[in-house]
Structure 1
Amino acid sequence: MLLESRSPAVDETVHLVRAAQQGDSDSFTQMFQIHYAGMLAVAYRLLGPGPDAEDACQDATITALGRIGELRDPTAVRPWLHAIVRNICLSILRSRRPVPVGVAGANLPASADDGPVASIERMAQRDWIWHGLKQLTPRTQTVAMLRYFSDNNSYEQIALLCGIPVGTVASRLSEARRRLAHILPSIQGERHDDIDALTTERHEEAGTILTAVANDVPLSQVERRWAKDMTMWWPSGRISTGLGSVFAVMQNNYGQGVTARLTGLVAGPGVTIWENTFLNPPDDPYHCPPGATWLLREKDGVVQEVRLLYAPPAGEPPTQRERPGPHPA
């Protein structure tokens, strides 16, 4: 039987994909450069020429970096990349609607493809990404972390968490995409910090605090890393001070049968993001929202400010409206 030989171009593609899957950032960069024009053409066909299409391709690149290990057939990398771009574009088209500040797609949650945390956690490239994020400005880094590594990640939700206009979120994300496109290839040969230790430490802390009341953990056992005058911004706009004010809310909730469970955490230099679900009592299933995202801002390893955003019930937009249960009356 005669076997058709593969072309040198196909062999090179296979080599680049397999090297990228082993954590070779240079190979991923070459692969991306080869296919970017085709990805952009897909975005242009669906969204039209302009910044939306370019942003979609940058989002797709970040997604592909996190999911490259899932590509079983290296020769299929071109349609695989095009499919990622297409899915992001279609999500934008389905969800586009006018918003008060005129930013298209501001209420669009990042698609599942925009949040490749599970894949990144299993791959060596994750440290490359975090090394790149650390070189962004703190404000730009924060919105990028929320957009790509949290569930409450629509432009409006990020705006509420950061206390900034939706238009500012859009401009900072655009800046983050442009910067990462230049930063990631330039740092491929540098030594990247391992985020495992920091993530493990912050994960343990978050889990302990969220379950402290239920487990009879005293405030003194967990407040070492928290400033005494830490500012807590509740979704209603209420401001309280110190971790003790958060404990008081948790004690009130627990007394009414509500508990919380940590579901996600992202740790970076100066910023930590918690995500949790609220478990309501059977006789009051809507006492608390489904969950919440916590944005912790730190200085020299000490938490100075926390902003809290509740996850809206299915079908409802994010809101700052006062809700019963998760905070003092």
Structure 2
Amino acid sequence: MMLIESRLPTVDETVQLVRAAQQGDSDSFALMFQIHYAGMLAVASRILGPGPDAEDACQDAAITALGRIGELRDPAAVRPWLHTIVRNICLSFLRSRRPVPVGVAGADLPASEADDPVASIERMAQRDWIWHGLQQLTPRSQTVALLRYFSDNNSYEQIASLCGIPVGTVGSRLNEARRQLAGILPSIQNKRHDDIDALTAERREEASTILTAIANDVALSQVEGRWADGMTMWWPSGRISTGLESLFAVMQNNYDDGVTARLTGLVAGPGITIWENAFVNPPDDPDHCPPGATWLLREKDGVVQEVRLIHARPAEATTE
């Protein structure tokens, strides 16, 4: 389908383009996104201000729209539909910058979202679908995509620290991941996907056990089976240590100072696991540790070979 680049498509052309995209034509979807990108960017810029955040929101909206294009019942309404998606992503981004109260997961969600089983199933299905696509990315694209979309400490600077790469490389690898997903997701949308719940539950139990090992008197020998003897540990200070015992030593020092840790989030997949935890500092030393941390575990044949750790910045200092 040919469109004149100097004008917006007619209603009939828009309908044809959207219907082609709904039938899996990736070129039609790319053209649809190209036509509406300027308007989407204007929406994002009004909310987030002009710059990389607004551009990222538009790219994230494209991935969301790609997965939900079949839900658009009125193809002629694609413009406001895309604007709504990018607006919601921007608002979600702004909310993620605010401090999140510690409590039961989902407690800050409206009751309709937290308790609706249909919505829960849809979120699970979309997560499994996206996960299946992410597993097909090249390793370097996969890691930055997981950190960007599935972790809280997901600024370019934080991702760069976790991956040991320049900040500029984060952006290029995210763009690479988006290009790959644009081709992967339409082809797998209606296929059965591997359920990641079992793996996530297993990794969550492991993470929680290790983070609370000192407080619960769990011996190193009880948890070291999946960790390489020469595991490399990269600390936020730039210090490098080896072996799980080096992590236990630091946790012991923190515990002796009255600090405990609690798992707050986890993402698990083949070859990579991401932990997120909150630190609970003693009342007489509330700033002993940062609010929390993100851990990137790299694995080979199911054995942890490398861990990189960054601390979460205080809420008032968190910027992109």
TM-score bracket for the superposition, by shorter chain length: 0.7 to 0.9
- Supply the distance in 2 between the matched residues of 1:81 and 1:133 (Cα, whole angstroms): 23
Residues paired across the two proteins, number: 273
- Supply the distance in 2 between the matched residues of 1:51 and 1:310 (Cα, whole angstroms): 23
Per the TM alignment, residue 194 of structure 1 is displaced from its structure 2 partner at its CA by 1.1
Per the TM alignment, residue 300 of structure 1 is displaced from its structure 2 partner at its CA by 0.4
Partner of 2:186: 185
Deviations along 1:58-112, one digit per CA (max 9) or x if unpaired, are 30144467899xx9x97788635312314556999x9xxxxxxxxxxxxx97xx9
Partner of 1:40: 37
RMSD, matched Cα: 3.9
C-alpha spacing 1:64/1:207, structure 2 compared with 1 (3 Å): farther
Deviations along 1:125-152, one digit per CA (max 9) or x if unpaired, are 2221111111111111000000000000
Per the TM alignment, residue 228 of structure 1 is displaced from its structure 2 partner at its CA by 0.6
**Contact kept? 1:296, 1:306, Cα under 8 Å:** yes
1:239 equivalenced with 2:236 (yes/no): no
**Contact kept? 1:231, 1:304, Cα under 8 Å:** yes
- Supply the distance in 2 between the matched residues of 1:236 and 1:120 (Cα, whole angstroms): 41
1:173 equivalenced with 2:177 (yes/no): no
- Supply the distance in 1 between the matched residues of 2:263 and 2:314 (Cα, whole angstroms): 18
Partner of 1:57: 58
**Contact kept? 1:28, 1:65, Cα under 8 Å:** no
Deviations along 1:146-205, one digit per CA (max 9) or x if unpaired, are 000000000011001111000100100000011101110122344321111111110110
1:264 equivalenced with 2:261 (yes/no): no
TM-score (norm 2): 0.73
Percent same amino acid among aligned pairs? 75
C-alpha spacing 1:81/1:234, structure 2 compared with 1 (3 Å): same
- Supply the distance in 2 between the matched residues of 1:258 and 1:181 (Cα, whole angstroms): 44
**Contact kept? 1:127, 1:192, Cα under 8 Å:** yes
Equivalent residue letter for 1:204: E
Q: Match of 2:258, SS?
A: coil
Partner of 2:230: 229
Partner of 1:198: 199
Q: Match of 2:310, SS?
A: strand
Q: Match of 2:296, SS?
A: strand
Deviations along 1:219-240, one digit per CA (max 9) or x if unpaired, are 1111100001000000011011
Structure 1 unaligned spans of 5+: 1-8, 17-25, 95-107, 113-117, 319-329
1:207 equivalenced with 2:208 (yes/no): yes
Q: Match of 1:185, SS?
A: helix
Partner of 2:112: none
- Say which structure is richer in helix: 2
Equivalent residue letter for 1:40: Y
Partner of 1:136: 137
C-alpha spacing 1:222/1:191, structure 2 compared with 1 (3 Å): same
Equivalent residue letter for 1:83: T
**Contact kept? 1:219, 1:244, Cα under 8 Å:** yes
Equivalent residue letter for 1:258: V
Q: Match of 1:315, SS?
A: helix
Worse-superposed segment, 121-130 or 145-154: 121-130
- Supply the distance in 1 between the matched residues of 2:204 and 2:274 (Cα, whole angstroms): 10
Q: Equivalences for 1:34-113 in 2 at 5 Å?
A: 36=33, 39-45=36-42, 55-63=56-64, 79-86=80-87, 88=89
C-alpha spacing 1:257/1:199, structure 2 compared with 1 (3 Å): same
- Supply the distance in 1 between the matched residues of 2:153 and 2:234 (Cα, whole angstroms): 17
Q: Equivalences for 1:24-39 in 2 at 5 Å?
A: 33=29, 36=33, 39=36
Equivalent residue letter for 2:159: I
Partner of 1:153: 154
Equivalent residue letter for 1:178: R
